[in-house]
Amino acid sequence: MELRTTRRGFLGTAGLASLGAVAAPLASARIEPTPWGLKLGIATYTFRNFDRAKVIQMVQQVQTPWISIKNTEQQLSLKSTPEELAAARKQFDDAGFKVMSAGNIDMTKAKTIDDLRPLFEWAKTARLPMLVCAPTHDNLKAVETLVKEYDIRIAIHNHGPEDKHFPTPESVLDAVRNLDPRCGLCMDIGHTARTGTNVVDAIASAGPRLLDMHVKDLADFSAKESQCDVGDGLMPFPQIFRQLKKMNYQGCVDLEYEIHADNPMPGVERSFSYMRGVLAGLASA
C-alpha cells in the first residue's frame, strides 16, 4: 500500500489539524454512540484475559454500546448450558450493550452440517444475530445451509498471509459471491494491509457483503508484531471512514486491540479517542 503517513498527517488529511483535542478524550463532551453515523464498537477479544464481569466494566468505561463477544470460557463459552448462556447474555443486556455478533469462531475442523449445527444452536440460544467465523472452502456450503435454517448471518474473518483458507477480503468475497446474502465478510484491516491489499479499495469492493469490520493499526504493514495504538501507525483512518460513509455501511467498526493483553485500557481509550476525534472532524467538515 502507498498510503504511508503519520498520526499528524491523518489529522491534516481529514481537515482536523486545528482540532487540538482529537488525540485526547473530551471529558465534558457527550459520547456519540454512532459518530458520523458509524457504529464504533469493540471486539471483546481485546479483553480476552479477563472474566465477564471485568469485561463488562471495561466496555462501559469505553462508552460504546456496540460489542462483538469473544467465545472464551470466561466471556461466552461454547461449552455453556442453555441456562448459563441465557444468564450470560442477560448480563450483557443489563449493562446496556447491543450484542452484534460473537467470534471469531473456528469452523475449520467441521466437515458436515451435523458438525456445525451445535455452533448455530449455541448462537440461537445466546440470541446472536451473527457469527464472525473461520470456515473452510470445503464446508462453506454446509455453513450456508445453516445460515438459511437459523437466519443467523456469518461474517468470514480474513486472517492475513498466514491464513491458508481466507487470507484476504478478496478471497472471502470470491467464496461468498453466489451464496445467500447473509454470508459475508468481517474485514480485519490490519491483516488486510499485511497482504499488500489497499484497505480502502477492498472496503469499496466488498460493498453489501461487508457485514462487520475489525480495526487496528500497524506501524509497519509488513509486520504483524508492529500493532500499535490506533492513530500511531500507518492505517489511513480518515479515508477508511469516508469510504464506509460513502457506501452507507450499516455494520460495526469494532476495535480489536491485540496488544498489552494484561493492561489494554490505556491503549483502548487512546485508540477510541483518536477515532472519535477523526469522525467528529469529518462530521463537521
pLDDT at residue 30, as a whole number: 75
**With 60 as the cut, is the pLDDT of residue 20 above it?**
no
| pLDDT at 19 > cutoff 70 | no
- DSSP-assigned letter for residue 207: G
Check residue 29 and give its pLDDT.
59
244-264 pLDDT, tens digit each: 999 999 999 999 999 999 999
Q: What residues does 102 pair with on adjacent strands? A: 69, 131
Which one has a higher pLDDT value, 221 or 10?
221
Q: Residue 146 above 70 pLDDT?
A: yes
Q: What is the mean pLDDT of residues 207-220?
A: 98
Report how far residue 285's alpha carbon sits from residue 16's, in angstroms, rounded to the nearest whole number. 8
Assess whether pLDDT exceeds 70 at residue 26: no
21 pLDDT more than 90: no
Taking 70 as the threshold, does the pLDDT of residue 163 lie above it? Answer: yes
Q: Is residue 267 part of a domain?
A: yes
Sign for the CA dihedral angle at 95, 101, 103, 106 comes to: positive
11 belongs to a structural domain: no
CA atoms within 13 A on the CB side of 68: 32
C-alpha cell at 32: 456519540
97: left (phi over 0), alpha (psi -120 to 50) or beta: beta
Per-residue pLDDT band for 67 (boundaries 50, 70, 90) equals very high
Q: Name the amino acid, one letter, at 85.
A: L
What values do phi and psi take at 14, rounded to 5?
-85, 0
pLDDT at 16 over 80: no
pLDDT higher than 80, residue 43: yes
Across the chain, how many H-helices and E-strands are there?
10, 10
- Residue 237: which CATH number? 3.20.20.150
Instruction: Print the domain residue range for 153.
Output: 36-284
Work out the pLDDT band at 240, boundaries 50, 70, 90: very high
Output the furthest CA–CA distance in the chain (Å, rounded): 58
**Position 56 in a domain:** yes
Half-sphere exposure of 242 (CA within 13 A, CB side): 14
Is 24 part of any domain?
Answer: no
Q: What is the mean pLDDT of the chain?
A: 92
186 within some domain:
yes
- SS3 category, 156: strand
Whether 17 shows a pLDDT value over 50: the answer reads no
Top-confidence residue, 27 or 279: 279
Domain-embedded: residue 279: yes
Q: Is residue 5 part of a domain?
A: no
In the chain, at which residue ranges do the beta strands (DSSP E only) sit? 39-43, 66-69, 98-106, 130-134, 153-157, 183-188, 210-215, 217-218, 227-228, 252-255
pLDDT in tens, 80-127: 999 999 999 999 999 999 999 999 999 999 999 999 999 999 999 999
Total number of domains in the chain: 1
pTM of the full structure? 0.91
Q: How confident is the model at residue 203 (pLDDT cuts 50, 70, 90)?
A: very high
Question: How far apart are alpha carbons 222 and 210 in whole angstroms?
Answer: 24
Residue 229 maps to a domain: yes
Question: Each residue of 179-189: pLDDT tens digit?
Answer: 999 999 999 99
